[in-house]
Structure 1
Amino acid sequence: MTIKPLCCLLLIGMLAGCASAPQTPPQRQALYGLGERAAQTIVDEPGWSAENIVLLLARPDIDMSLEVDTEYFRETLTRALLAQGGGPQVLNWVPSMADATTPDNQWLLKTRLLAEGPALTLSDRELRPYRLELALYRPGSATPRWRWNIDGALDVDAL
């Protein structure tokens, strides 16, 4: 008879522990908002119907002082773009794809995440100012057809 209440208490404790555990790694939280903001900008700002667009996503160029993993940021941006209602199709682009003839609905998205000054030390955290540069190109063209910058700061503890 005493085993049943003990089992119930253990089960409740385990469930409470699972419910309070973080659902996403800290880096996902730090970059999730940036990816969402960039994706929304890419869908809204160029003045196109994004649902008919195929974005070729180039490998991001990231300032190493920000301590952001390049492939993780690319994945976060890809997921955010795919989650946009009426958003574009997204493919990872590699330089060998530049030789192929591309349809009119394909655009190359290049991103650069740059440190914008020294880290800001607050009483409880450190922030790293950044600038995310977004540029859309026709594949094979050296001149962007659209550019946009997003400025902000990443919380170092969340990286």
Structure 2
Amino acid sequence: MSRRRFALLPPLLTLVMTVLLLTGCATGGPEHPQTVRQALFGLGERAAERVGEAPPLPSPLTDEVLLLATPEVDAGLGVGSDRLLESLTRALLGLEQSPQVLDWQPALSRGAEANQWRLDSRLIAAGPRLALSDRTLLPYRLQLTLRRPGSDTPLWQAQLDGALDASAL
């Protein structure tokens, strides 16, 4: 009789594991971002799309080098400049025909090649915190500026407006 019980164990375990797996899939992801990475993910993707469409940049971007300056971030937003830089870098590298992406350093301005572009970004609070029933939103404005290394003249500028979920920061 004990052999019969052990014979039923593998199919029973398989059934239990399948039910647990399907239950996990059915519950889905969180309704709002739970981590800084998730909170900045959408912002980074929107910014990368705008940069990828910038008129001064040739297409395809695969031969271009974007030098990302450390972002300026309003301290009231609670986002570190390193987190925003990481989000922008990942999103730019995730473009279909992504450019090469490097951290900009002043030494890179000397002897810059024609395929190099410096991307400056500034994330600022665009209003007071918005208290909703289940969370607080932080309105922001992300300013993007594309220029040649060693030049202060902007070749392209864009701004993105939105709000970050404060509970994810």
TM-score, normalised to structure 1, is 0.84
Shift of 1:144: 1.4
Quick one: distance in 2 between partners of 1:5 and 1:54? 55
Kindly indicate whether residue 54 of structure 2 is the aligned counterpart of residue 32 of structure 1: no
Q: Deviations over 1:4-37 (max 9, x none)?
A: 5774466446645765585985222211111111
DSSP-derived class of the 2:97 partner? coil
Aligned to 1:80: 91
Aligned to 1:149: 159
Kindly indicate whether residue 62 of structure 2 is the aligned counterpart of residue 49 of structure 1: no
Q: Deviations over 1:34-54 (max 9, x none)?
A: 111100000113343241321
Aligned to 1:130: 140
TM-score, normalised to structure 2, is 0.80
Quick one: distance in 1 between partners of 2:132 and 2:34? 23
Q: Deviations over 1:114-143 (max 9, x none)?
A: 011210111221111100000011111122
- With over 3 angstroms needed to count, the CA separation of the structure-2 counterparts of 1:136 and 1:47, relative to structure 1, is closer
| One-letter code aligned to 2:55 | P
Kindly indicate whether residue 69 of structure 2 is the aligned counterpart of residue 61 of structure 1: no
Quick one: distance in 2 between partners of 1:28 and 1:135? 23
Between 1:144-153 and 1:4-13, the stretch displaced more is 4-13
Between 1:6-15 and 1:132-141, the stretch displaced more is 6-15
Identity %: 46
Contact 1:53–1:88 at 8 Å: present in 2 too? yes
Aligned to 2:103: 92
Quick one: distance in 1 between partners of 2:21 and 2:37? 24
Quick one: distance in 1 between partners of 2:154 and 2:123? 17
Contact 2:69–2:121 at 8 Å: present in 1 too? yes
- With over 3 angstroms needed to count, the CA separation of the structure-2 counterparts of 1:25 and 1:155, relative to structure 1, is closer
| One-letter code aligned to 2:70 | R
DSSP-derived class of the 2:82 partner? helix
Quick one: distance in 2 between partners of 1:106 and 1:156? 35
How many residue pairs get aligned? The number is 158
